[in-house]
Amino acid sequence: MGYRNTRECLEALEAKGDLIQIDQAVDANIEIGAIQRRVFHAGGPALLFNNVKGCRFPMAANIYGTRERMQYIFRDTVETVQRLMKLKLSPMDALKRPWQYLGAPRTAWHTLPKRVSSGPVMQGQTTISGLPSLVSWPMDGGGYVTLPQVYSESPGSPGIAGSNLGMYRVQLNGNDFVQDKEIGLHYQIHRGIGHHHAQAIEKGEPLKVNIFVGGAPSMAVAAMMPLPEGLAELFFAGALGGHRIPMVTREGELPIPAEADFCICGEIVPGLEKPEGPFGDHLGYYSLAHDFPVMKVNAVYHRPDAIWPFTTVGRPPQEDTMFGEFVHELTAELVPSVFSGVHEVHAVDAAGVHPLLLAVGSERYVPYAEERQPQELLTNAMALLGNTQTSLSKYVLIAAKEDLGPDGSCHDIPVFFRHMLERADLTRDLHFITRTTIDTLDYSGITLNQGSKLVFAAAGSRKRELSTELSSDINLPHGFRDPKVMAPGILVIKGPKHRRKRDQQDPALSRVAEGLSKVKGIEGFPMIVVADDADFTVQNWDNFLWVTFTRSDPATDMYGVGEFTHAKHWGAEKAVVIDARLKTYHAPALEPDPEVEKRVDELGAKGGPLHGII
């Protein structure tokens, strides 16, 4: 059976030798987050900090820091959940292999939350200022909850069946929030809580919200699951947790998980917004201060032995990468049932997840055609941009399964990019959606929440041979230099500092594209990227993906070698040029505090609790 609360889980990890307790005093301001990140990158154990300065509650981190640990925590249930996912895809499989689904009725029973009158979480009360105040990066605007489970119900049809459990940003202090009475609730567009908030606004009433921290590990995973609207995450939490989630239910109040470590109860007041942020986010930059809803705090509950689980986010990979990989393992076989014709998707973690989506789809619309070209693929791509979390994608690169073959995969990034660049017709296969909604955390657009998207499709035979060497006669305009080959068909050029305003193209990039049109053999590099630091960008694929796709807006920052516009369709005859420089309006990249890093080094020195780990 799955773990029912944080302490039970941590004790099991310690017994397994996969947890270290740190009794040395540590600071929740910058230091503890730096420790967590260093241990994660070292592939180290879970951490329990028993002595947090200025706080009576211990803090735990890196609980989900490796794939092996994730699999161990959910070892009793993960296979059954995967089989149930497969059953949705192929109902007849249960008749063919009934022995594989013997646990299905029990798992279905576990999806139903259990109503209880009280529980450990209700035994203690504190205030917001009594909670751990985690500040992960030097420019963060205050203390944040980084593993929150934000629970809301539909004002029109209340109840668990129509509830939403999401992992949204929660700022506990700082800015203009009234201490202990107000906290900031930053939810991104397309999120389930937004539908509930809209209903409450329409009714002119506050939206009740409960924020859970800790409890059953399955609750944290459920809060991150990209489930379809109308399917309650609490049901999934029970299935993955291997037990019915006990919920304290009181008349007129939202339910609270009995085994949670903490619960913040309150409501979003209509018409009240205040600046939230800055905050170091999972794209590797700061998301700056913007107005977001304010949650009025009514009560803060905690269990007697409460532990505050946390993580820190930053440029991938981080601990949340493990969540993403785990979710992919659970849901991979569901992709064709959610997106007809799509066989595989890969939201690229190194590019910050939402900026870049790779996909494999079918191309069957005209099987008798002499040359296959993207048609069904475009239908597939539009479906991806119209559903669930994939709708936040900015660049969608989609290839035909018929060309990739049975072993081809969009998870092999170098091979997939080569395949795309060999087969794409740049005069035909680039499809832009402009002035549309983009991820709230993406600052490359023309304003907050607004920018463009690109569908880049490829099907059929090879269109070109990709080059791996530069022509010696390449001439670039003043300020552009150091062209370097990243991979076959991909060229990176160092550019001068960006100086244009938001929502403006840069004539200098047009001159670069025009000059490259005269270079013999430039068509062998169909993707050309202009970056601030070419050496850094070509150092490895992670750097290339992060720079290229987090720092560019497709419509604003793409130029063409031999570009043209015909009947409102844009194309390029030889190559595309992507301006991936940091823009004047971009948020700053995350940088660690050198003094804090020195203190972390001391923990890893001989005699320190992390010696041999970091």
Indicate if 223 and 342 belong to the same structural domain.
Answer: no
Bridge-based pairing state of the strands 207-213 and 395-400: unpaired
Indicate if 280 and 334 belong to the same structural domain.
Answer: no
What is the dihedral sign for C-alpha 30, 34, 37, 43?
A: negative
Distance separating alpha carbons of residues 191 and 159, to the nearest angstrom? 18
Q: What is the pLDDT of residues 417-470, one digit of tens each?
A: 999 999 999 999 999 999 999 988 899 999 988 999 999 999 999 999 999 998
Give the pLDDT band of residue 232 (cuts 50, 70, 90): confident
Per the CB < 8 A criterion, the answer to whether 241 and 217 are in contact is: yes
Indicate if 353 and 290 belong to the same structural domain.
Answer: no
- The yes-or-no verdict on residue 88 having pLDDT over 60 is no
Indicate if 265 and 325 belong to the same structural domain.
Answer: no
**Using CB atoms within 10 A of its CB, is residue 202 exposed (0-12), middle (13-18) or buried (19+)?**
exposed
Q: What is the pLDDT of residues 379-399, one digit of tens each?
A: 999 999 988 788 889 999 999
Residue that terminates a domain, selected from 431, 458, 485: 458
Q: Which amino acid is at 335?
A: V
Q: What is the mean pLDDT of residues 205-224?
A: 96
Coil, helix or strand at residue 271: strand
Q: What is the pLDDT of residues 114-171, one digit of tens each?
A: 999 999 999 999 999 999 999 999 999 999 999 999 999 999 889 998 899 999 999 9
CA angle 514, 518, 520 (to 5 degrees): 140
**Is the residue at 324 inside a domain?**
yes
pTM here is 0.91
Indicate if 199 and 306 belong to the same structural domain.
Answer: yes
Q: What is the pLDDT of residues 511-553, one digit of tens each?
A: 999 999 999 999 999 999 999 999 999 999 999 999 999 999 9
- The yes-or-no verdict on residue 104 having pLDDT over 70 is no
**Is the residue at 236 inside a domain?**
yes
Q: What is the mean pLDDT of residues 57-80?
A: 95
Per the CB < 8 A criterion, the answer to whether 491 and 456 are in contact is: no
Indicate if 450 and 409 belong to the same structural domain.
Answer: yes
Q: Can you give the CATH number for the domain in which 39 is found?
A: 2.30.110.10
**Is the residue at 609 inside a domain?**
no
Residue that terminates a domain, selected from 310, 340, 364: 310
Indicate if 367 and 276 belong to the same structural domain.
Answer: no
Nearest to 257 by CA among 295, 191, 213: 213
Residue that terminates a domain, selected from 458, 481, 501: 458
Lowest average pLDDT, out of 94-98, 364-368, 505-509, 592-596, goes to 94-98
**Is the residue at 594 inside a domain?**
no
**Is the residue at 106 inside a domain?**
yes
Give me the sheet containing 246-248, strands edge to edge. Answer: 114-116, 246-248, 256-257
Dihedrals phi, psi of 172, to nearest 5 degrees: -85, -30
Indicate if 88 and 27 belong to the same structural domain.
Answer: no
Per the CB < 8 A criterion, the answer to whether 162 and 275 are in contact is: no
Residue 440 has a CB neighbour count (10 Å cut-off) of: 22
Task: Work out the percent of the chain whose per-residue pLDDT is above 70.
Answer: 95
Task: Work out the percent of the chain whose per-residue pLDDT is above 90.
Answer: 81
Q: What pLDDT, on a 0 to 100 scale, did the predictor assign at position 99?
A: 43
Average pLDDT over all residues of the chain: 92
Lowest average pLDDT, out of 65-74, 77-86, 279-288, goes to 77-86
Lowest average pLDDT, out of 72-76, 83-87, 251-255, 282-286, goes to 83-87
Q: What is the mean pLDDT of residues 62-82?
A: 92
* C-alpha distance from residue 455 to each of 76, 313, 318, 382, 458 (Å): 40, 28, 28, 8, 10
Nearest to 281 by CA among 321, 314, 324, 319: 314
Indicate if 79 and 63 belong to the same structural domain.
Answer: no
- The yes-or-no verdict on residue 190 having pLDDT over 70 is no
**Is the residue at 528 inside a domain?**
no
Q: What pLDDT, on a 0 to 100 scale, did the predictor assign at position 89?
A: 42
Distance separating alpha carbons of residues 173 and 109, to the nearest angstrom? 40
Q: Can you give the CATH number for the domain in which 336 is found?
A: 3.40.1670.10
Domain count, the chain: 3
Q: What pLDDT, on a 0 to 100 scale, did the predictor assign at position 226?
A: 77
Bridge-based pairing state of the strands 262-276 and 290-302: antiparallel
Q: What is the mean pLDDT of residues 55-78?
A: 96
Q: What is the mean pLDDT of residues 40-46?
A: 98
Indicate if 347 and 365 belong to the same structural domain.
Answer: yes
Q: What is the pLDDT of residues 318-357, one digit of tens each?
A: 999 999 899 888 877 777 777 889 999 999 999 999 999 9
Q: What pLDDT, on a 0 to 100 scale, did the predictor assign at position 90?
A: 44
| Entry field: residues in the chain | 614
Coil, helix or strand at residue 401: helix
Q: What pLDDT, on a 0 to 100 scale, did the predictor assign at position 471?
A: 77
Query: Dihedral angle at the C-alpha atoms of 77, 78, 84, 88, nearest 10 degrees?
Result: 150
- The yes-or-no verdict on residue 101 having pLDDT over 70 is no
Q: What pLDDT, on a 0 to 100 scale, did the predictor assign at position 332?
A: 76
Q: What pLDDT, on a 0 to 100 scale, did the predictor assign at position 369?
A: 85
What is the dihedral sign for C-alpha 92, 94, 95, 97?
A: positive
Q: What is the pLDDT of residues 541-594, one digit of tens each?
A: 999 999 999 999 999 999 999 999 999 999 999 999 999 999 999 999 999 999
**Is the residue at 89 inside a domain?**
yes
Distance separating alpha carbons of residues 307 and 514, to the nearest angstrom? 60
Lowest average pLDDT, out of 228-242, 400-414, 431-445, 452-466, goes to 228-242
Range of the domain at 83: 74-110
Indicate if 193 and 248 belong to the same structural domain.
Answer: yes
Tokens of 608: 């320190």
Coil, helix or strand at residue 431: strand
**Is the residue at 586 inside a domain?**
no
Indicate if 167 and 119 belong to the same structural domain.
Answer: yes
Q: What pLDDT, on a 0 to 100 scale, did the predictor assign at position 94?
A: 41
Q: What is the pLDDT of residues 157-166, one digit of tens each?
A: 899 988 999 9
